[in-house]
Amino acid sequence: MIEQPANFPLIELSFGIFFVLPLIIILTQYIKMSASITNSEKPLNGISGSINGNRLRRRAQSNKSIIRLLLAVVVGFFCCWAPFHAQRLVILYASDWKYIHEFNVWMFFVTGIFYYFSSTLNPILYNVMSRKMRVAFIDTFRAICFKTKVSRNSDLSSSTMYGRRSRSFREETQNIRCSVKKEFNLDDSRTSKRYNLLQHSYKGESIV
């Protein structure tokens, strides 16, 4: 069971600071945002009636979706953290209840799931309730996947091009070596033939 220091309301203080106060701040700020969004739904000056009406309808629809999203964030915060604080308060003030042990066991798992789920709740709400967020998420995911595929293809193409260039370079060097050897062999054969002819000519002449 939960024990707190004598003459110091630790659990009640944590309930007020970490649950009630953030909930009040979130509600106040989101109510102000909703009021400013609602007041922005005014006709635009200098625009004809049909165009102005269409723009107002589109703006009203987007504003309603934003207000629903803000309300969902507040409700999600309350649902995720209320069981955790309720469990501690019930154990503190209803310790003589005969089902307190079963309640504590079940609430231990429930509160753990909910307050871990609260860290991922906002992105899920944004993707579920906002079409623009879904489109942006899909575009970002596609861009990341496309970049990885392009980098892999570029690496493969560069490796194949490097292999082809190295192979062609080796073939060219081998051809050059063969041509050089042939030229040297031809020169050697020509010089040897000339030397033989000179020897024969010298042998044919007689010294008188």
Whole-angstrom Cα distance, residue 5 to residue 7?
6
Whole-angstrom Cα distance, residue 171 to residue 145?
39
3-state helix, strand, coil in the chain (%, to 5): 85, 0, 15
Question: Which residue, 77, 62, 78, 70, is CA-closest to 29?
Answer: 70
Tokens of 11: 């659990």
24-57 pLDDT, tens digit per residue, is: 999 999 999 988 888 876 655 545 456 666 777 7
pLDDT value at position 202? 42
163-190 pLDDT, tens digit per residue, is: 555 565 566 666 666 664 555 454 555 5
Residue type, 198: L
68-117 pLDDT, tens digit per residue, is: 889 999 999 999 999 999 998 998 888 888 888 999 899 999 999 998 99
CA Rg value for the chain: 43
Whole-angstrom Cα distance, residue 55 to residue 150?
41
pLDDT value at position 117? 92
- CB-based contacts of 11: which residues, under 8 Å, 6+ apart? 2, 4, 88, 89, 92
Which residue ranges form the domains of the chain, and what is each CATH number?
Answer: 10-129 (1.20.1070.10)
Q: What is the pTM of this model?
A: 0.60
Q: Could you please report the per-residue DSSP string of 43-80?
A: PPTT--HHHHHHHHHHHHHHHHHHHHHHHHHHHHHHHH
Which residue do the tokens 């004598």 mark?
6
Q: Could you please report the per-residue DSSP string of 78-143?
A: HHHHHHHHHHHHHHHH-TT-TTHHHHHHHHHHHHHHHHHHGGGHHHHHHHHH-HHHHHHHHHHHHH
